């Protein structure tokens, strides 16, 4: 049983009304989940304000309310803790409640626009192959060593993070690799965590629906490295112009990786084919199953982390050569008629351009490249015309379709995409609202040897329309359609 005063350690408290020497059952920030003797944390969110549900939480049994604004009437049998920032308070409350599990294993955070999932997932895979018990907190899934849980956010809420870290500690995990999103940093979800190391991948156009400016987006990422302790390491991609910015104020041990400039971990792409990459990392050559220069960066980051965590260079290279690609990240099949279908999560301009340039590098130019792409609703609108123009410029045919429209009109999203296509490329584009029909059309247009890229959703197995998630798996659908057309 936890005592309130113990789990308030490090919380920035402005006032307390009531006793802190009382037992508490659990912590909740969703009033609907509150029961007897719980702590309810009232959080001001983008869609709702938890302060509006304080009375409901108390009626369900909450004995403690943590809030930024005290209610007008304070009840005698309730303890009220006024804090500076409820998100930050939740982070420390959760860590203390679970006895600070991040201090009992080596937690590595990976942040940046693109590559977070691949790097975290492949590090998990690598350290499992090396014989360790390992945890993973990623967009695709959560792993507590061998046990898999479904992921709902890139960076979960503070309670969920600490709950899973606690489970990892219980089963003996020595390492955990975690995606750290800008939302997670900004909302203080990682504030109380002890990181052994951090990785910066790159920074490009994304999440400007949430962050007011690109500079704010960059500075939120940077704050993660500013907070790393002296005992940690910070590995950054110095080919990205923002890479060195991440290290400006950190006291952590600084390490760099790059393909184009001098760095601690440097690689050269010797071969890039559908069969894999051959890289020269520092002075050693290694073949890997992954494809594309963007994966060369990912592999370099993984190599750097492995060395920082004590794996010998030769062993790290051997393990790199055994790594399998991550679901929905340049995942491809080749049909009986030799049509190549690639599914990739590319949902930012930079990621889409990287994937298309990778395909350009490995294709013979005798085949047709057909790209299917959409943009998510209720998200950054400014990237829509940019992504459409990239798809049209770097493909022989581009089909604009629905992604996850959420609460927006998918036709409006497509029209905003079309507005960005340069005149000379417009004849190469068609728009098909229904995503399955768009994939079917691409399959019908493709000849033997052609390449179909389905971008944007990657590993997702649903399409979200007006708050409802419908079953939709790009890879499964394209496989079925190609088989039907080849009968």
Give the annotated binding-site residues for ATP. Answer: 112-118
* Cα-based torsion angle of the residue sequence 460, 461, 463, 468 in order, rounded to the nearest 10 degrees: -110
Q: How far apart are CA 160 and CA 260, in angstroms?
A: 39
54, 39 Cβ separation under 8 angstroms:
no
**Angstrom distances, CA of residue 444 to CA of 217, 370, 458, 484:** 41, 11, 21, 10
* Coil vs helix vs strand at 427: helix
DSSP letters spanning 298-321: HHHHHHHHHHHTT--HHHHHHHHH
Sequence length of the chain is 487
Q: Which positions make up the binding site?
A: 31, 112-118, 154-155, 181, 187, 189, 379, 403-406, 456, 460
- Residue 373 · residue 455 · CB < 8 Å: yes
Q: Would you call 59 exposed, middle or buried from its count of C-beta atoms within 10 A (0-12, 13-18, 19+)?
A: exposed
End-to-end C-alpha distance for the chain, whole angstroms: 64
Instruction: Look at residue 183 and give its three-state secondary structure.
Output: helix
User: Kind and range of the H or E element at 285?
Assistant: strand 284-288
**Binding site for meso-2,6-diaminopimelate: which residues?**
379, 403-406, 456, 460
Q: By the 8 A CB rule, do 296 and 323 touch?
A: no
Q: How far apart are CA 323 and CA 318, in angstroms?
A: 9
Comparing C-alpha atoms, which of 168, 192, 3 is closest to residue 87? 192
Helix (H, G, I), strand (E, B) or coil at 147: strand
Question: Which token pair is 161?
Answer: 């993070």
Asked whether 176 and 165 are in contact (CB, 8 A), the reply is: yes
What single DSSP character describes residue 407? T
* d(C-alpha 107, C-alpha 193), whole Å: 8
> 224: part of which helix (H) or strand (E)?
helix 214-226
CA dist 393 → 375, 388, 447, 453 (Å)? 17, 9, 21, 14
Residue with the two structure tokens 């209720």? 378
d(Cα 53, Cα 71) in Å, to the nearest integer?
11
């Amino acid at each position: 049983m936890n005592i309130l005063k113990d789990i308030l350690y490090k919380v920035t408290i402005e006032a307390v009304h009531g006793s802190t020497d009382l037992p508490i059952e659990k912590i909740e920030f969703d009033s609907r989940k509150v029961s007897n003797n719980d702590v309810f944390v009232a959080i001001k969110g983008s869609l709702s304000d938890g302060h509006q549900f304080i009375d409901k939480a108390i009626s369900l049994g909450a004995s403690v309310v943590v809030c930024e604004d005290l209610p007008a009437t304070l009840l005698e049998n309730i303890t009220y803790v006024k804090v500076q920032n409820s998100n930050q308070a939740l982070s420390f409350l959760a860590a203390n409640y679970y006895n600070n599990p991040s201090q009992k294993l080596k937690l590595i955070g990976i942040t940046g626009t693109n590559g977070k999932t691949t790097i975290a997932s492949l590090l998990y895979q690598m350290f499992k192959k090396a014989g360790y018990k390992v945890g993973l907190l990623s967009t695709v899934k959560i792993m507590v060593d061998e046990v898999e849980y479904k992921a709902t956010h890139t960076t979960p809420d503070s309670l969920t993070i600490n709950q899973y870290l606690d489970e990892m500690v219980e089963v003996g995990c020595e390492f955990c690799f975690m995606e750290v999103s800008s939302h997670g940093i900004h909302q203080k979800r990682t504030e109380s965590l002890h990181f052994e190391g951090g990785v910066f991948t790159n920074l490009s156009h994304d999440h400007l629906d949430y962050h007011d400016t690109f500079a704010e987006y960059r500075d939120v990422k940077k704050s993660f490295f500013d907070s790393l302790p002296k005992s940690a390491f910070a590995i950054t991609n110095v080919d990205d112009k923002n890479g060195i910015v991440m290290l400006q104020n950190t006291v952590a041990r600084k390490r760099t990786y790059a393909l184009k400039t001098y760095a601690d971990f440097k690689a050269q792409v010797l071969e890039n084919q559908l069969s894999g990459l051959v890289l020269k990392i520092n002075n050693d050559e290694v073949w890997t199953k992954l494809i594309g220069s963007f994966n060369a960066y990912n592999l370099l980051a993984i190599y750097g982390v492995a060395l920082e965590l004590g794996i010998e260079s030769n062993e790290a290279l051997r393990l790199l050569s055994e790594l399998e690609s991550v679901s929905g990240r340049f995942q491809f099949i080749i049909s009986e008629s030799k049509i190549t279908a690639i599914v990739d999560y590319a949902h930012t301009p930079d990621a889409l351009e990287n994937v298309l340039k990778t395909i350009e590098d490995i294709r013979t130019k005798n085949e047709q490249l057909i790209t299917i792409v959409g943009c998510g609703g209720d998200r950054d609108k400014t990237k829509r015309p940019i992504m459409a123009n990239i798809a049209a410029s770097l493909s022989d045919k581009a089909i604009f379709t629905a992604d996850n429209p959420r609460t927006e009109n998918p036709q409006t999203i497509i029209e905003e995409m079309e507005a960005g296509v340069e005149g000379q490329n417009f004849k190469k584009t068609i728009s098909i609202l229904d995503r399955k029909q768009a994939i079917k059309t691409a399959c019908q247009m493709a000849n033997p040897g052609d390449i179909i890229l389905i971008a944007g959703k990657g590993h997702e197995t649903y399409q979200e329309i007006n708050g409802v998630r419908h079953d939709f798996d790009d890879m499964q659908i394209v496989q079925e359609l190609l088989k039907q057309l080849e009968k």
